[in-house]
Amino acid sequence: MENEAPERPDRWKKNYSLRRAILDYGMGVIILGIGIVVLLAPKLKLQLSIDDTFRYIFAGLCLLYGGFRIYRGSRKNYFN
C-alpha cells in the first residue's frame, strides 16, 4: 500500500506526456497539411480569395508552426 502513493504521480505524468505528445503530433500534421495545401493551391486547382503574398506568408507560418508542434511532441518536455 505504501508503494502505490509515489507511483501514482509518475504514472499520471507519463500518461499526460503521452496524451500531449499525441495531440502535438496530430495537430502538427494537420497544420503542416494545411500549409502545404495553401502553398500548392494553384497546382491543385483550388481558388483562394487572398493575394499570393498573404498566401505565401500564411503557408510559411503554418509550416513553421506545424513543424514546431511536431518537434515539441518529440521532445515531450511538458513539466520543465
What is the model's pLDDT at position 76?
A: 83
What is the model's pLDDT at position 78?
A: 78
Q: Which residue, 35, 33, 31, is CA-closest to 72?
A: 31
CA angle 55, 61, 58 (to 5 degrees): 15
What is the model's pLDDT at position 46?
A: 92
How confident is the model over 3-61, as pLDDT tens digits?
555 567 888 888 888 999 999 999 999 999 999 999 999 999 999 899 999 999 999 99
Could you please report the per-residue DSSP string of 18-33? Answer: HHHHHHHHHHHHHHHH
What is the model's pLDDT at position 4?
A: 55
- Domain boundaries along the sequence of the chain: 31-80
What is the model's pLDDT at position 77?
A: 82
